[in-house]
Structure 1
Amino acid sequence: MAVALNTLVEEADRYLGSAKIQDYCPNGLQVEGRPQVMRIVSGVTASQALLDAAVQARADLVLVHHGYFWKGENPCVVGMKQRRLKTLLKHDISLLAYHLPLDLHAEVGNNAQLARQLDITVEGPLDPADHRVIGLIGSLPEPMHPRDFARRVQEVLGREPLLIEGSEKIRRLGWCTGGGQGYIDRAIAAGVDLFISGEASEQTFHSARENDISFIAAGHHATERYGVQALGDYLARRFALEHVFIDCPNPI
């Protein structure tokens, strides 16, 4: 079956509530391709590697978490940006991108999906008093040694994480996928035993050590692979479409 591009985009916008979320980039349809969609290719970032793979897969639409047109970037269509846009336009492929809406969503969001992957029970937002904070709080079924949990992360994500180990077993966790390491102090205030993010900053080490909590940096790309897959699956079910997730490995 095929679905009209506008119909698919409207449903994705509605489902994610993207119009209500302030962001650093436009969410939704970023590049318009052919008017009918039968095959979706999803991936984390709209890199050239993903676009080339989407062409080979005969995609009508590419769905990503990291798209284009970020605030503060050079708006000129030259170099890498020209080559990427040329690929989409030459092959009449649409680009559909959701950044913060795909971090925040309670079902298909990156944070909710990471919890499912790691068997974490979601209890609520990382900071209920501040809706701008994206992360979540949750718990494990049983207390675990930090090294054992780090091994679980490695097995699930296929990437060795950076572990800063606290002195206690972990049960209560806070997390924010991608570049959410700056929320570690909010997590400490919430009383977590472990905070997980994709990346780490220099000061993250000191916050974890001096507050005696564990910290895991599991990779920006690795922690944000699951939301876009879940959204692609949702749209594929909703409109009886084909959906293929293509992972272009990124060690960051």
Structure 2
Amino acid sequence: MSKNTPITPTNLAKFCDEYLQASEFNDYCPNGLQVDADTPISKVVTGVTACQALMDKAIELNAQAILVHHGYFWKGEPAPLVGMKGKRIRTLLQHNISLIAYHLPLDAHPVIGNNAVLADELGLTITGALYPHEKHPVGNVATCPPTASADFAKKIEQVLGRMPLHISDDPNRTLTKIALCTGGAQDMITQAHAIGCQAFISGEASERTTHLAREMGVDYFGAGHHATERGGVKALGEHLADVLGLDVVFVDIDNPV
């Protein structure tokens, strides 16, 4: 698809599907076009999650599509379109706005994926997969120049605009090999330890994360689910603007989690 091709919700999603190789992922939600408003697209709002506040902003900006990392229709959730879920869908259809969402494909992409973007922003060099057997790894291993763990926490704060939760049994640990997986991947710290990483970066933390980090001797950086997953969808939007000539606006709805 080129800049001269009429952009419908279907062919925009097809372009993204192919770029992200979405069909190759077994995900917790449908990737691609989730709500089709059947309106030609010239302006897209991108964001992390398809919350009501993001939709309200898309209406204000006269966008015809919303592109997110966290969309709708997750496995195990109630199917009826009622209450908050019904309101969200009504909002989209009443204002002729399509919804396109990519979950694991947007984590794993080697160029514009959440992990790739975060690693680049933090000055890390990705060297492989956190789980080497995966065809499309959603977690990565990276190297960095020798860095004190406390200084690395400050680097995360500088890049993401928030101080990470830093759990460590050794405040003087020097980091050279770091694993990362954005979002709610805190339990992957066990795999990071198994392959010899001194630290693991993710978005959230559980009660058990503290004990795992201390007892395994791995620094854990909980940098925020939302904050660590802004990069991928923003980068995908910029790619669509460059290749397809779309007007794309990234909207950051504040989320402290």
Alignment TM class, shorter chain as reference: over 0.9
Partner of 1:79: 83
Counterpart check, 1:178 vs 2:191: no
- The match for 2:167 among 149, 164, 167 is 164
Deviations 1:116-146 (A, max 9, x none): 1111100010121345762100011x21111
- The match for 1:110 among 114, 117, 121 is 114
Partner of 1:153: 156
User: Displacement of 1:4 after TM fit?
Assistant: 2.8
RMSD: 1.3
The secondary structure found in structure 2 opposite 1:192 is coil
**In structure 2, what is the Cα distance between the partners aligned to 1:54 and 1:3?**
18
Give structure 2 stretches of 5+ with no counterpart. none
Identity %: 48
The secondary structure found in structure 2 opposite 1:87 is helix
Which stretches of structure 1, 4 residues or longer, exceed 6 Å deviation after superposition? none
Give the letter aligned to residue 123 of structure 2: D
Contact 2:8 2:38 in 1 (8 A): no
Q: How does 1:185-200 map to 2 (within 5 A)?
A: 185-200=190-205
What TM-score do you get using the length of structure 2 for normalisation?
Answer: 0.94
Contact 1:122 1:138 in 2 (8 A): yes
Contact 1:146 1:166 in 2 (8 A): no
Counterpart check, 1:98 vs 2:109: no
What TM-score do you get using the length of structure 1 for normalisation?
Answer: 0.96
- The match for 1:232 among 213, 234, 237 is 237
User: Displacement of 1:57 after TM fit?
Assistant: 0.7
Contact 1:121 1:138 in 2 (8 A): yes
Contact 2:39 2:96 in 1 (8 A): no
Partner of 2:19: 15
Give the direction of change, closer, same or farther, for the CA distance of 1:159–1:186 in structure 2 (3 Å limit).
same
Contact 1:34 1:60 in 2 (8 A): no
Number of aligned positions between the proteins: 251
**In structure 1, what is the Cα distance between the partners aligned to 2:248 and 2:148?**
38
Deviations 1:42-101 (A, max 9, x none): 000000000000100111110000000001101111111011111100000000000011
Give structure 1 stretches of 5+ with no counterpart. none
